[in-house]
Structure 1
Amino acid sequence: MADTNYDVIIIGSGPGGYVTAIRAAQLGLKTAIVEREHLGGICLNWGCIPTKALLRSAEILDHANHAKSYGLTLEGKMTANVKDVVARSRGVSARLNGGIGYLMKKNKIDVIWGEAKLTKPGEVVVGKTSKPAVQPQNPVPKGVKGEGAYTAKHIIVATGARPRALPGIEPDGKLIWTYFEAMKPDVMPKSLVVMGSGAIGIEFASFYRSMGVDVTVVEVMSQVMPVEDAEISAIARKTLEKRGLKILTEAKVVKVDKSSNSITAHVETKDGKVQQITADGLISAVGVVGNIENLGLETLGVKTDRGCIVIDGYGKTNVPGLYAIGDVAGPPMLAHKAEHEGVVCIEKIAGLPNVHAMDKSKIPGCTYCNPQVASVGLTEAKAKEQGREIRVGRYSFNANGKAIALGEDNGMIKTIFDKKTGELIGAHMVGAEVTELIQGFVVAMNLETTEEDLMHTIFPHPTLSEMMKESVLDAYGKVLNA
């Protein structure tokens, strides 16, 4: 009879789940992971990774169509083959999906295939999955466990999230899309309405615009990418509009009419007027909600709030032996947050000393549109709301040699310091490759770096990273190259 007792069972194999499983195995805990659909979860299969593959294709196309500005001549206009673009994206996901399977085997983590339900403390009952097979794991292959009852002293819920649907504008997979359909179009639409300008909405808007699609973004808040610093958002918006994106802020889609092959979105603006926008389709990108249904949480009396499981700083729920991490445990709903949260949770379970609760103020956010946007810490407005006296530094891409040489001289880096202590409390960027630069400020904030430390750090020349130091110098009236 198969062994069904574990130290730890993790429900869900997204970034939070599989990383937690690996760390648990490293700590000597007998570990199993339950998955109903695909190893790697949404991030690897339908989110973070395949969207970046799509955006890379868009970036190459943008560069090719502006080759003349680099002194290059390409015969004719470059065009995108939608099937090949999608196939490359899916191939990238498939490669990484297989890699996670290898990591599970390498770390001697049992994979249990099916849908999990919590029936009583310390028990998970796994039933047949209702999801279609998206990888060769259904039927269950040799070496992978399936339906049955399993027990563990510690059970971690890492079931992720799914797209939020607005009443009356529910996705239908044909004319109204979520990111699932937006990621694999059969044909390229001529026009789209994108509802929501958070990371998901603006990335797809940017991708489809690069592909030549007429795109209109509708955002209910007063700025695109509402969580970002207002100044950075304004620069991003100006650049996106220069690329041909139409953006309506302080506006909302109140109704969608559907015909056989198009939609008409009724968009209400802040003055109460309603305009109609007809397009080939609409992408609904109005956020996500945690996957808390059909898990048996109610049976165990697990506390939830606004569609997410309530936890403490170490992933503990109000039920002993039950934990939650990642999107299902609440915002920010980011893969890297889920991974770190899972490591904190399992190290606390294992009894490691000096395990620190995650500091959400130091979680970076990245949006991979063109131009890229990245940030960590407080915005200028939030810092002022908290009553802090601050120093703000700014440095523009158009004063940086590497940016000019790259032909990417549109953007800005902004740093925010506590005026009394010199502590770096926020960093915000818009422009080429800022999603790769932001980690420098994240490290600095975790080390409680002051402006003096950053000023004494030598940045290599010529690089985009030099702008980080110049922004710091600007906050203290010492900028050198502007």
Structure 2
Amino acid sequence: MSSYDVIVIGSGPGGYVTAIRSAQLGLKTAVVEREHLGGICLNWGCIPTKALLRSAEVLHNSQHAKDFGLVLNGSVTADVGAVVKRSRGVSAQLATGVGFLLKKNKVDVIWGEAEITKPGEIVVKASTKSVQGPAIPAPKGAQGPGTYQAKNIIVATGARPRVLPGLEPDKKLIWTYFDAMVPPDMPKSLIVVGSGAIGIEFASFYRTLGAEVTVVEVLPQILPVEDEEIAAHARKRFEKAGMKILSGAKVTKVEKTANSVKATVEMGDGKSQVIEADRMISAVGVVGNIENLGLEKLGVKTDRGCVVVDGFGKTNVPGIFAIGDVAGPPMLAHKAEHEGVVCVEAIAGKNPHAFEKDKIPGCTYCTPQIASVGLTEKKAKEAGFTVKVGRFPFIGNGKAIALGEPEGLVKTVFDAKTGRLLGAHMVGAEVTELIQGFVIAMNLETTEEELMHAVFPHPTLSEMMHESVLDAYGRAIHM
């Protein structure tokens, strides 16, 4: 019976990063995986969707080549099969890279489905199937089914799409995001149920490729976790691009025909309308993979489909930990990675700071991009802060205009009493690459004074971050 200091169940971003850090700390480590090294993120989530969205972005730019003084000889159209093939190739390359990194760091890979039979013991059985079909063979050098011992077991099993009654996916007419990533052909029309990051990214992708897209959101605001002002700006841009958005609306009935769906949508005023489309994407969130792991038998505490943990990934059962999506929101890859590092460093006795969720950035890669960190203006006021709010529009930035991206907004929220940066929110070109500047500032407990005195290079989009801070204190220069 093989014995380890740490066994991580799941090799997604949280799992493989945790395993590598564990090995770096001198702990004998293994990771158990049942279908894909790299997990959902690398294979069916973060990475392949960004590859799809990049193809859509290139198509959009080519369609507007004339705006940049360029002439294309002939039309540019999307070959959906080739777009999907490129996306799958990107995922395959990165999954191979994860295998290399695990091997390089001397982390053993155990291939199969794990169950924790008691604290310190895992039984691994052969994988039965993957999310998209038959079980995937074990990679070369991986160990197989058997009983394994570990002083510390870290559950990093991720999450799967939430299924609502009446919206059960069938892979043909009603899709999850897995199906939406590998369409056999291009639908002419699409209904997207849910306007969170997943729903809006797919709505943006398919709209850019030419589909008629209707988004149905049960809440009054699309992108519900974002700042109201940012979400409103994004909505205008989406609608300008031809996307139809129904907020404060609920799908109450779905009828299927041979090759289409009819959705009855109940609006907030009680009136209903029927929308017909080729396909429907159900993007109503995700739920943690906590089943069939032995957690219930061992008395591990769970809440609303997720494992309950403290700031170091500890569950209520000694020797069992959980990180990433399975440990609750925000369900983001970078949250899982950092949470896992904190967890395993605590196991190794390195006394890390407890994991803090309030400084985790969120990014949505639609057109326009959306990025945020910290409290929205509304949440800051609800928390009792007196706030100072700064705003700066893309139209006032030279780099944005030169890029042909004059629409967008950077917004900052400060504590009026202390100057502490409480939150930052952006919508527009490349904001997913800008937000980290504010993340670092919040981690350093930076006030408005340090941000005002920081020198931002010109001409860059990042200058808008500076101007937004200045505006919060009545000192904006270029507006």
TM-score (norm 1): 0.98
- Does residue 430 of structure 2 align to residue 433 of structure 1? yes
Moved over 6 A (4+): 133-137
In the other structure, the counterpart of 2:443 is 446
Look up the equivalent residue of 1:371 and give its one-letter code.
P
Match of 2:269 among 268, 271, 295: 271
- Residue pairs, 1:49-448, within 5 angstroms: 49-132=47-130, 138-353=136-351, 355-448=352-445
**Cα deviations by residue, 1:314-359 (Å, 9 ceiling, x for unpaired):** 0000000000000000000000000000000000000003x11111
| Local SS of the residue matching 2:363 | strand
| Local SS of the residue matching 1:391 | strand
| Local SS of the residue matching 1:166 | coil
In the other structure, the counterpart of 2:458 is 461
Match of 2:41 among 40, 43, 53: 43
Q: Offset of 1:299 from its aligned partner?
A: 1.2
Look up the equivalent residue of 1:381 and give its one-letter code.
K
Unaligned runs of 5+ in 1: none
Look up the equivalent residue of 1:189 and give its one-letter code.
P
Match of 2:28 among 12, 27, 30: 30
Q: Distance in 1 between matches of 2:158 and 2:37?
A: 13
Look up the equivalent residue of 1:75 and give its one-letter code.
N
Look up the equivalent residue of 2:353 and give its one-letter code.
H
Conservation of the 8 A alpha-carbon contact between 1:388 and 1:418: yes
Q: Offset of 1:168 from its aligned partner?
A: 1.4
Q: Judging changes above 3 Å, is the alpha-carbon distance between structure 1 residues 135 and 317 closer, same or farther for their aligned structure 2 residues?
A: same
Look up the equivalent residue of 1:62 and give its one-letter code.
H
Look up the equivalent residue of 1:393 and give its one-letter code.
G
Q: Distance in 1 between matches of 2:10 and 2:377?
A: 37
Q: Offset of 1:51 from its aligned partner?
A: 0.3
Q: Offset of 1:369 from its aligned partner?
A: 0.3
Q: Distance in 1 between matches of 2:459 and 2:129?
A: 51
Look up the equivalent residue of 1:467 and give its one-letter code.
M
Query: Aligned Cα RMSD in Å?
Result: 1.2
Conservation of the 8 A alpha-carbon contact between 1:192 and 1:280: yes
Conservation of the 8 A alpha-carbon contact between 1:37 and 1:134: no
Look up the equivalent residue of 1:284 and give its one-letter code.
S
| Local SS of the residue matching 1:394 | strand
Q: Offset of 1:456 from its aligned partner?
A: 0.4
Q: Distance in 2 between matches of 1:190 and 1:134?
A: 24
In the other structure, the counterpart of 1:475 is 472
TM-score (norm 2): 0.99
| Local SS of the residue matching 2:198 | helix
Q: Judging changes above 3 Å, is the alpha-carbon distance between structure 1 residues 274 and 137 closer, same or farther for their aligned structure 2 residues?
A: closer
Q: Offset of 1:370 from its aligned partner?
A: 0.1
Q: Distance in 1 between matches of 2:373 and 2:130?
A: 38
- Give the number of equivalent residue pairs: 479
Q: Offset of 1:471 from its aligned partner?
A: 0.2
Q: Distance in 2 between matches of 1:78 and 1:133?
A: 34
Could you tell me the percent identity over the aligned residues? 72
Q: Offset of 1:140 from its aligned partner?
A: 3.3
Q: Distance in 2 between matches of 1:222 and 1:147?
A: 49
Q: Distance in 2 between matches of 1:381 and 1:75?
A: 50
Conservation of the 8 A alpha-carbon contact between 1:113 and 1:137: no
Q: Offset of 1:138 from its aligned partner?
A: 4.3
Q: Judging changes above 3 Å, is the alpha-carbon distance between structure 1 residues 22 and 395 closer, same or farther for their aligned structure 2 residues?
A: same
Unaligned runs of 5+ in 2: none
Q: Offset of 1:418 from its aligned partner?
A: 0.3
Q: Offset of 1:213 from its aligned partner?
A: 0.3
Conservation of the 8 A alpha-carbon contact between 2:394 and 2:409: yes
Q: Judging changes above 3 Å, is the alpha-carbon distance between structure 1 residues 243 and 152 closer, same or farther for their aligned structure 2 residues?
A: same
**Cα deviations by residue, 1:364-388 (Å, 9 ceiling, x for unpaired):** 0000000000000000000111121
Q: Distance in 1 between matches of 2:421 and 2:310?
A: 27
Q: Distance in 2 between matches of 1:463 and 1:37?
A: 42
Q: Distance in 1 between matches of 2:476 and 2:29?
A: 53
Q: Offset of 1:143 from its aligned partner?
A: 1.8
| Local SS of the residue matching 1:286 | coil
Conservation of the 8 A alpha-carbon contact between 2:127 and 2:135: no
Q: Judging changes above 3 Å, is the alpha-carbon distance between structure 1 residues 142 and 41 closer, same or farther for their aligned structure 2 residues?
A: closer
Conservation of the 8 A alpha-carbon contact between 1:38 and 1:134: no
| Local SS of the residue matching 1:398 | helix
Look up the equivalent residue of 1:242 and give its one-letter code.
K
Q: Offset of 1:77 from its aligned partner?
A: 2.5
Conservation of the 8 A alpha-carbon contact between 2:390 and 2:412: yes
Q: Offset of 1:76 from its aligned partner?
A: 2.9
Q: Distance in 1 between matches of 2:461 and 2:134?
A: 44
Conservation of the 8 A alpha-carbon contact between 1:38 and 1:135: no
Look up the equivalent residue of 1:121 and give its one-letter code.
P
Conservation of the 8 A alpha-carbon contact between 1:366 and 1:372: yes
